[in-house]
Amino acid sequence: MSSLETLIIETSLPIKHSVIWLHGLGADGHDFAPIVPELKMPNTRFIFPHAPHKAITMNNGYEMRAWYDLFGLSMQHQQDEAGMREMQKNIEALIADEISKGISESNIVLAGFSQGGAMALFTALRHPKRLAGVLALSTYVCLKKKLGEEANPANQDLPILMAHGSFDGVITLDTCLVSRHLLESLNYKLEWHEYPMAHSVCAEEIDDISRFLSKVFKAE
- Out of 97, 104, 106, 199, the active site residue is 199
Residue count (the chain): 220
Choosing from 18, 114, 138, 179, which is the catalytic residue? 114
Cα–Cα distance between 160 and 125 in angstroms, integer? Answer: 10
Catalytic: 168?
Answer: yes
Burial 142-154, CB ≥16 within 10 A → b, else e: beeeebeeebeee
Query: Is residue 114 flagged as an active site residue?
Result: yes
Q: Is 97 a catalytic residue?
A: no
- How far apart (Å, rounded) are the C-alpha atoms in residues 161 and 7? 23
Catalytic residue among 69, 164, 168, 179: 168
Q: Give yes or no for a cis peptide into 52 (omega within 30° of 0).
A: no
Q: Residues 168, 202: contact at Cβ < 8 Å? A: no
Give the catalytic positions in this structure: 114, 168, 199
